[in-house]
């Protein structure tokens, strides 16, 4: 779950990190009223789940109320990389002496948490990595051991932060790691982390991605789930508990397991097709789940053919086949379907499907064969 900046700052504040006072606004009058309460000067900041807001004109300094009114009017409704701005964060402006970058995320290859710290803040970290990789100090943290103060101090020293920023940065980083680990986050990023002219270290931006699978440990995370950016297809799939990501192609994809779903998307591309979605129905492929998946994909007008790619594991092939046939009775399908069924009891599953095969329901022996056939149909 990606958080808006203001949500990220509220999340950080729960762990004691210093953030600026601010208020969320959905209309120009609300933005003006917020600025009057906070006192100018303020920043008017677009709230969207994407980067590059500043370059797109979504972050503006407002010295007075008239400027707040003007900037809020220009930013609300602005299209930033396909995201329409529906809310702005009105934040008390901060004086900046220096800008830094700090983040924690998971390094899957190392099976450890990765911390990155740089004196070159205010710039996208990818740009820093490309132009001046030595400016990024990295540490790998064993989740069992956690981040000690001594290690944190060594890390700050390696990043070559100036002496006035050291104590404040160490304090913020320890709290940031706690927020990352205890909050079940996939990513926490501060860019920039600033040093004020008075010598205080302050969080000026917040990028946070939380692990949605941890929601059972954090009931309050439902508030973040409610503000996720989803198109109509993704919203319908989410309501049915399906793992779905909308794409721009014409081949609907249904698979059981995230890895197989990604591989299916790849093989459709490999044979010259364009997937319309990523859809993982998980370990089960019963009639209810399959019907929900088919309904979501069938409601996408761009879909011209559907690829059901199932590898039976704990769920056996005959159960999967029966689930597909039952689902097709419940959902009136407009597009032809190509099935690849393999794994546990696949022969029994294929035998169940065989009598029902038509020019609208087809079966292929391999994933590659099925991909070629479904792309041909979609074309």
Active site residues: 101, 189
Element (H, E) at 233: helix 232-239
Report residue 85 as tokens: 């701005």
DSSP state of 275: B
DSSP 108-149: TTTTEEEEEEES--SS-HHHHHHH-GGGEEEEEE-TTT---H
Q: How far is CA 361 from CA 74, 286, 298, 301, 308, in A?
A: 51, 18, 14, 19, 10
CA separation for the pair 215, 326 (Å, rounded) = 32
Q: What torsion, rounded to 10 degrees, do the Cα atoms 221, 225, 229, 231 define?
A: 170
CB burial of residue 359 (10 Å; 0-12, 13-18, 19+): exposed
Max CA separation in the chain (angstroms): 78
Q: Could you give phi then psi for residue 18, rounded to 5 degrees?
A: -80, 115
CA distance 179 to 167: 19
DSSP alpha helix (H) spans, 3-115: 5-14, 28-38, 65-75
Alpha-carbon distance of 197 to 183, in angstroms, equals: 31
Measured on CA atoms in the order 258, 259, 264, 267, is the torsion positive or negative?
A: positive
Cβ contact 132:242 at 8 Å: no
**In this structure, what DSSP letter does residue 220 have?**
G
């Amino acid at each position: 779950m990606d958080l808006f900046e203001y949500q990220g700052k509220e999340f950080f504040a729960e762990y004691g990190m210093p953030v600026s006072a601010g208020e969320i606004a959905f209309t120009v009058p609300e933005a003006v009223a917020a600025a009057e309460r906070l006192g100018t000067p303020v920043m008017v900041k677009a709230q969207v789940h994407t980067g590059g807001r500043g370059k797109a004109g979504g972050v503006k300094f407002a010295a007075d109320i008239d400027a707040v009114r003007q900037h809020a009017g220009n930013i609300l409704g602005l299209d930033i990389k396909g995201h329409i701005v529906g809310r702005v964060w009105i934040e008390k402006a901060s004086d900046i002496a220096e800008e830094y970058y700090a983040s924690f995320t998971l390094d899957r290859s190392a099976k450890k948490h990765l911390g990155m710290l740089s004196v070159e803040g205010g710039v996208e970290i990818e740009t820093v990595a490309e132009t001046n990789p030595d400016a990024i100090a990295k540490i790998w943290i064993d989740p069992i051991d956690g981040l000690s103060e001594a290690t944190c101090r060594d890390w700050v020293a390696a990043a070559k932060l100036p002496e006035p920023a050291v104590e404040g940065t160490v304090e913020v980083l320890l709290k940031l790691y706690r927020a990352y680990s205890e909050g079940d986050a996939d990513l926490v990023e501060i860019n920039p982390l600033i040093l004020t002219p008075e010598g205080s270290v302050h969080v000026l931006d917040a990028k946070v991605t939380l692990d949605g699978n941890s929601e059972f440990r954090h009931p309050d995370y439902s508030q973040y789930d409610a503000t996720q950016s989803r198109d109509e297809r993704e919203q319908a799939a989410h309501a049915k508990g399906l793992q779905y990501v909308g794409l721009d192609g014409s081949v609907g994809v249904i698979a059981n397991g995230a890895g197989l779903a990604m591989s299916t998307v790849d093989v459709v591309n490999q044979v010259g097709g364009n997937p319309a979605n990523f859809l993982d129905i998980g370990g089960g492929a019963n009639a209810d789940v399959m019907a929900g998946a088919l309904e979501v994909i069938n409601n996408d007008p761009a879909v011209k053919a559907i690829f059901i790619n199932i590898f039976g594991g704990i769920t056996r092939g005959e159960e999967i086949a029966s689930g597909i046939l039952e689902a097709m009775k419940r959902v009136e399908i407009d597009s032809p379907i190509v099935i690849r069924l393999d794994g546990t009891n696949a022969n029994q599953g294929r035998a169940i499907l065989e009598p029902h095969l038509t020019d609208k329901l087809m079966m292929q022996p391999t994933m590659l064969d099925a991909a070629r056939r479904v792309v041909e149909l979609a074309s």
